[in-house]
């Protein structure tokens, strides 16, 4: 299965993509996680991405395409993947389709997780992530066992989950990513899934639409 999980910031893409990747035994590839890891490791990629991320803007397409092209060439991605948060622009979607065409394959499904804006703000501002293992919690809906992660790691709030930056990320999404809705609708590969309700319920909806695509 080669699937893309799209959706506005904090819609639940990472939560759902991690679970799908495990169940389908394909890698969960999150460009946001790759950028955050690069920042934590102090690499050149991290240096390039940081300012854009902290401002709620997109990292330039050529930088993002470079890391995705590299990642999709790994052995573990040859039999499938769940992409999370990529593509986010039309040029990225075109770039992805070229990479896949060069491998003689194409996407099986693009799933858009739809969540109203007031809920997105609640999900973003309540998100906490483990500094050690990257596990994602929510202070109300998916609280950690105590003050720390299950693995013992410290929990932190993402810098870009402040109310101001969330507003900026939503504006970026509307301007640059929402056009992909039409792009993939025309291609016939888009399925829109209601992202409200608990994560198990949303998961069941996604599995149902993927069942129709495979």
Active site residues: 13, 88, 127, 158, 169
Query: Is 7:14 a contact under the CB 8 Å cutoff?
Result: no
In terms of CB distance, is 26 or 205 closer to ligand ADP? 205
In whole angstroms, the minimum distance from the beta carbon of 43 to ligand ADP comes to: 15
Cis, bond preceding 25 (omega within 30 deg of 0): no
In whole angstroms, the minimum distance from the beta carbon of 27 to ligand ADP comes to: 16
Q: Which residues bind ligand ADP (CB under 6 A)?
A: 7, 9-15, 31-32, 35, 52-53, 56-59, 64, 85-86, 88, 92, 123, 126-127, 136-138, 141-142, 160, 169, 198-199, 202
Query: Is 115:103 a contact under the CB 8 Å cutoff?
Result: no
Distances from the Cα of 50 to the Cαs of 144, 153, 159, 174, in angstroms? 27, 23, 11, 21
The candidate with the shortest Cα–Cα distance to 118, out of 130, 126, 128, 108, is 126
The candidate with the shortest Cα–Cα distance to 202, out of 3, 26, 14, 27, is 14
Token pair belonging to 161: 């989950």
Token pair belonging to 196: 């409200």
Q: Tell me the three state secondary structure of residue 188.
A: coil
Q: How many residues does the chain have?
A: 214
CA distance 41 to 80: 27
In terms of CB distance, is 27 or 32 closer to ligand ADP? 32
Q: Tell me 175's DSSP state.
A: I
In terms of CB distance, is 44 or 104 closer to ligand ADP? 44
- Name the residue with the smallest CB distance to ligand ADP: 32
Q: Tell me the three state secondary structure of residue 198.
A: coil
In terms of CB distance, is 113 or 210 closer to ligand ADP? 113
In terms of CB distance, is 80 or 134 closer to ligand ADP? 134
């Amino acid at each position: 299965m080669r699937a893309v999980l799209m959706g506005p910031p904090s819609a639940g893409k990472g939560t759902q993509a991690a679970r799908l990747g495990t169940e389908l035994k394909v890698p969960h590839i999150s460009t946001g996680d790759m950028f955050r890891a690069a920042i934590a490791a102090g690499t050149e990629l991290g240096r390039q991405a940081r300012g854009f991320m902290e401002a709620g803007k997109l990292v330039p397409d050529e930088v993002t395409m470079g890391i995705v092209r590299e990642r999709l060439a790994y052995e573990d991605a040859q039999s499938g993947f769940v992409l999370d948060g990529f593509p986010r622009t039309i040029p990225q979607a075109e770039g992805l389709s070229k990479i896949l065409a060069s491998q003689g394959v194409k996407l099986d499904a693009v799933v858009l997780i739809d969540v109203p804006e007031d809920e997105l703000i609640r999900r973003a501002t309540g998100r906490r992530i483990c500094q050690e293992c990257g596990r994602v919690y929510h202070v109300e809906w998916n609280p950690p066992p105590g003050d720390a992660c299950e693995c013992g790691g410290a929990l932190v709030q993402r810098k870009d989950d402040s109310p101001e930056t969330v507003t900026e990320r939503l504006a970026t999404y509307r301007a640059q990513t929402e056009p992909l809705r039409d792009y993939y609708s025309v291609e016939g590969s888009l399925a829109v899934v209601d992202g409200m309700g608990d994560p198990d319920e949303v998961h069941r909806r996604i599995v149902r639409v993927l069942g129709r695509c495979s």
